[in-house]
Amino acid sequence: MKIISNKGGKELKLSFRKVLGVAFIIAALICIYFAFLQQEKYIQGNAEYKKIKQTATDTPSDDSKHTQDFQVDWNTLKTQNPDIVGWIRMDPSVNYPIVQTKNNSYYLKHGFGKSYNINGCIFMHADNKSDWSDPNTIVYGHNMINGSMFGNNKLYKSKSYTEAHPYFYVYTPSGKMTYTIFDVMTVNDATVPYTIDMQTKEDFQSYLDTIKKLSTYQMNVPVTTDDHIVTLSTCTNHGRQRFLIQGVLTNIENNNRVGGGD
């Protein structure tokens, strides 16, 4: 009787396992490499805005506090980028210039200095009036994994967090505008909450009635057709869905030394 050895088969299986193991190691190293590159992009993107804060604002040492010591050097900002239309501050970490250009795509991947920046910019909708006088002004920001830009806005999905942090602030060369948050919602992009062109008070009232139905929750903050609101928009992890925070203008301080606080 002839005995057939399976030694060759075992060696083949062992070789295959070694090749597979090496392949897994290479794949892991590639993933680590790209993760490192991504992290470097985050660091570089954040560094640009850190430098802007250092050179163009007088930011308090405790940046988490919206104190009266905060000031903006508008001449410096306009020299760096004439697209500047404001500066936004909001708990827990929003503290950025706001720009506006002729489309809503350029600043998705361009920083304040107009070079590539993974963070993009905080920017006003291209069709809004740059003086913030529209009934609804839309401001966009990326939902960054590291919490930069509008990445921490998700905290406002909790009503209790909004109750503790009810305001956001927009600074312009004319002074500071305080917006009181009156609702939040998750909606699809380019739907009714993104409406800008409202010719009459009836149009605005219809808009207010619609967003009330769409909101995740409402705060006890009155909004009328005589008011001006700002809609802060950021993406979610679900395709076209966007998370919106809406605030109504409740105070204006017309001076150059502007600040504020909860």
Residue range 203-225: mean pLDDT, rounded: 98
In a domain, 116, yes or no: yes
In a domain, 244, yes or no: yes
Q: What is the CATH number of the domain that holds 118?
A: 2.40.260.10
Q: Residue 3 has what pLDDT?
A: 52
Please write the tens of the pLDDT for every residue from 137-189: 999 999 998 899 999 999 999 999 999 999 999 999 999 999 999 999 999 99
Q: Residue 229 has what pLDDT?
A: 98
Q: Residue 157 has what pLDDT?
A: 97
Cα radius of gyration rounded to whole Å, the chain:
25
Question: What is the extent of the structural domain holding 96?
Answer: 44-253
In a domain, 3, yes or no: no
In a domain, 66, yes or no: yes
pLDDT band at 29 (very low <50, low <70, confident <90, very high): very low
In a domain, 20, yes or no: no
Q: How far apart are CA 48 and CA 208, in angstroms?
A: 38
CB atoms within 10 A of CB 115: 10
pLDDT band at 41 (very low <50, low <70, confident <90, very high): low
pLDDT band at 256 (very low <50, low <70, confident <90, very high): very low
In a domain, 7, yes or no: no
* Domain count of the fold of the chain: 1
In a domain, 194, yes or no: yes
Find the Cα–Cα–Cα–Cα dihedral 3, 9, 11, 12, rounded to 10°.
160
